[in-house]
Amino acid sequence: MAEEQQKKQKFPGENSDAKRSPKGRLQHPVVYIISIIVLLIIAVTFVAGPSLNIFSPQAENVSFGSIYGNSIEYTPGSYFAQQQQALAQEFAQSGQDASIQTIYQIWRIAFQRTLLHYAFLEEAKNSGFRVTQEAVDKAMAQNPRFFENGEFSPERYRSVSNVERLQLRETTHAGLIHQEVINSILQAAQPSDPESDFIARMGADRRSFTLARFPFAEYPAEEIIAFAQESPDTFRVREISSITLNSREEAQVLLERIKAEELNFQEAAREYSTDGFAAQGGSRGAVIFYDFQAEFSDEESAESIFSADRGSLTDIVETRNGRFGFYRLDSEIRSLDPESDREMQRVRGYISRFDSQRIEDYFRSEADSFLLAAQNRGFVAAAQEGGISTVKTNEFPINYGSVALFPTVQDAEGNQIAGTGNNEEFFLELFSLEDQQISKPIALGGEIIVAQLNSTRTVEEEELNYLKTFAGYIIQDWLGAELERVYLDPEVYTDRFDQAFQQLVMGN
């Protein structure tokens, strides 16, 4: 039974078989070239290891999807099979135990590599790139499969069937195209000296700051209480117990037995209930109406149950997830308890989800008050008087997008300051400041900050030359995401991976 349930397990990202139409080539030649380069990160050699039983398919000729008219199937000797086997072999050598999720990931990565491989070959075909049969012959002669005592063995070559030899030649031909196009693009894409100098100087001017921080997580309890008091019905609280079953009939029978005193509520919950409160005899403890109403598709059902008399048993109701149950009201309705951390956290979560602007507005007002005090009495003094936490940053340039070649925004301990990498306002405001000048309040997502400029520095020529040396790598970092955007855009391929995996590997 457990095995059957395991086989029926679903995996993330299941897609429909929607037909896609090919997308045009990249219009910008630099983007096109750089996107291809990033294939080096993912491309692997055509080395096929022995298939491991735990990773082996239970059938063949199942399509995992298609790209540019190529159906991606797991067949012996195919690129897909080679990638899957190579990954499986690599994992086996790690000595780790294989979980279902691990097997899924191995197959998924092999599938993505195959998509990229076919997209790469399509670009090569469109550009008119060709590989000669002589080059294929030379590559075949260098295949370790045909070596004996360190040399090519004609006997071993002739021992392979004509069908297998033809398939191997086709695979070798595709692999040569794959590799040669990478090599040619690498040569064409090397930045010129002026380009390298331009890239390096982007990170030459650096600044450090002191930040006054107003984290949203410190939204004060009195503000939370005030919010709850504005909506008292939403945050009513009472003790509730429940019993949940899979069908209305089962729930009705059990309810009648409890009413007839054949079973008490706690015993029935422990023995029959299928929800997460069974072990506690059905007791849910203190329940906030906001949480309770989320279990039902309509607020009226939640309201009628929550407002029932203390000690009463409700009728059978259907929950949002399609199960059936009944409830017992264990206490009178009361208001929110400010001393309860759990209840306060639930209201805080509600505000963060449905009225986050309220939190931001509160801290922006606090930051405005701090800014005024800092301008009058000094940044450090105003922070100390107001009990506001501050942090000194490292030296960093305008590094929009968190390019790996340059420092990102960190505190003195090297911790990344969240929300800065793609925040245009942050960089524009901070790099327009003069010495010791104080910024306006800036939202970073989870907090408001006010910054004071501490220092400015232009990197030395030696460090600049170091940056120039690695300018080529920055291109890959900048446009790494471009590869997936162009080649793994859903418009150019059909993805049936999850359905095929269930059928081929899991046997469902």
pLDDT digit string (tens) for 363-407? 999 999 999 999 999 999 999 999 999 999 999 999 998 887 889
495 token code pair: 């993805």
Give the pLDDT score at 255: 96
Q: 3-class DSSP state for residue 176?
A: helix
Cβ atoms of residues 482 and 31 within 8 Å: yes
pLDDT at 421 over 60: yes
Nearest one of 418, 443, 435, 448 to 212, comparing CA atoms: 448
Q: Please give the residue that has the higher pLDDT: either 78 or 396.
A: 396
Cβ atoms of residues 474 and 190 within 8 Å: no
Residues 6+ apart with CB under 8 A from 447: 213, 214, 215, 216, 363, 419
Predicted confidence (pLDDT) per residue in 230-285, tens digit: 999 999 999 999 999 999 999 999 999 999 999 999 999 999 999 999 999 999 99
CATH 3.10.50.40 boundaries in the chain: 236-334
Predicted confidence (pLDDT) per residue in 342-367, tens digit: 999 999 999 999 999 999 999 999 99
Mean of the per-residue pLDDT values of the chain: 83
CATH of domain 205-217+356-458: 3.10.50
pTM: 0.59
Nearest one of 31, 30, 71, 46 to 177, comparing CA atoms: 46
pLDDT bracket for residue 129 (50, 70, 90): confident
Count the helices and strands in the chain (H runs, E runs). 22, 13
* 390-392 vs 442-443, strand pairing mode: unpaired
Lowest mean pLDDT among 85-89, 126-130, 189-193: 189-193
* 237-245 vs 324-329, strand pairing mode: antiparallel
Give the pLDDT score at 468: 82
pLDDT bracket for residue 219 (50, 70, 90): very high
Output b/e per residue, 189-215; b: 16+ Cβ within 10 A: bebeeeebbebbebbbebbebbbbbbe
Task: Considering the domain delimited by 236-334, tell me its CATH architecture.
Answer: Roll (3.10)
